[in-house]
Amino acid sequence: MNDSPLFIQTDNDILQLNHERLPNDMKAGFSIRTGGVSSAPYQSLNMGFHVGDVDEDVRLNRKILAEKIGFPLDCWVVGEQIHQANIYKVASNDKGKGAFSLHDSLKGIDGLYTSERNILLVSLYADCVPLYFFAPNYDLIGVAHAGWKGTVLNIGATLIEQWKSIEKVPITEIQCVIGPSIGKKEYEVDERVIQEVEKVLPNTDTFATPLENGHYLLDLKEVNKLLLENEGIPIQNISVTHHCTASQLDLFFSHRKEKGQTGRMMSYIGMKGE
C-alpha cells in the first residue's frame, strides 16, 4: 500500500488526488467550499446548478476551478445524477454537456467513463460517496456518484463490469479511490436503508452500528469498499480517504448537517494529451 496522503490540499479551492498515485498525464481531485462567488447558503464555491443558487454564480465558480485544474469548462462532462446506477461512456462530442447549465447534462446518468484525452469527468456531492476509477495501462478513467441508493444498486460494480466486458480490462488493472463523503459517526439511517444494504451485503456488523432509537450509524464508504472487493478489485487497489463532509464544514458542504440548504462540491478526473 502507498503510505503517502491520498488527497493533498494544494490550493485553497482543491483537494488534489496525490500525484504519486496517478500517471503524469492524469489529474483528479475534489473541490472544497471556499474560494468562489456564491452567496449564503451556497457560499462560496458551489458547483451545483440544481440547488437554487444563481446560475451565473455557478458558472463563474466553475470557470475559477477550471483555470486551477487546467481543463477548460468546455471540456467538462457532467451527468444529471438521479441516484441510479446508469453508466455512460463519454466521447469527444460530449464535451461541454452539463458544464454551463443543468438542462444539457447527460440525462439519467450517475457514472461516467472515457478513454479519450482532454475530457474532464465531473460529478457533484454534498455527503454522497465519490468513486474514482482508473486503469492507466488501458487509458481508462471513470467517476461514479454513490449515495445510499446508488450504493445498494452497486454502481461501482456496474462500471467495473463494463470495463471488464466491453473494454476488456483485467480486474487487477483497475485502481479505485473512495473520496470525501459523510462518515459513519455522522450518518444515521433508518431500518429501511439497512434492509436495502443487506440485500447486497448481508453481514452489516462490519459497517453499521445499531442505536437505541432503532436507527443505525452507517459507514457508506466501507460499504462501497466491500462491494468493490466483492467485485474482485484487489484490496491493495482500493484507497479510502478519511475526510468526512459532515464533520468538516470548514472544507465541505453537507446536505445533512446543513439541512438541505447548501452547495455542492465536485469530483473530477481527466487525462491530458494531444
Q: 120 lies in which domain range?
A: 7-181+238-271
Question: Which CATH number does the domain housing residue 256 bear?
Answer: 3.60.140.10
Mean of pLDDT values over 242-258: 97
Residue 42 lies in a domain: yes
Residue 145 lies in a domain: yes
**Which cell numbers in the block locate residue 60?**
463563474
Q: What is the pLDDT of residues 89-130, one digit of tens each?
A: 999 999 999 999 999 999 999 999 999 999 999 999 999 999
Q: What is the pLDDT of residues 47-102, one digit of tens each?
A: 999 999 999 999 999 999 999 999 999 999 999 999 999 999 999 999 999 999 99
Query: Cell 487525462 sits at which residue?
Result: 271
Residue 31 lies in a domain: yes
Q: What is the pLDDT of residues 133-165, one digit of tens each?
A: 999 999 999 999 999 999 999 999 999 999 999
**The pTM of the whole model exceeds 0.95:** yes
What is the C-alpha separation between 192 and 63, in angstroms, rounded? 40
Residue 110 lies in a domain: yes
Sort residue 186 into left (φ over 0), alpha (ψ -120 to 50) or beta.
Answer: alpha
Residue 118 lies in a domain: yes
Domain count across the chain: 1
How many of the other CB atoms lie within 10 Å of CB of 199?
9
Amino acid type, 235: I
Residue 29 lies in a domain: yes
Is 180 a residue whose pLDDT tops 70?
Answer: yes
Whether 12 contacts 34, CB under 8 Å:
yes
What is the C-alpha separation between 15 and 10, in angstroms, rounded? 7
Residue 222 lies in a domain: no
What is the C-alpha separation between 88 and 105, in angstroms, rounded? 12
Residue-level pLDDT at 122: 98
Residue 233 lies in a domain: no
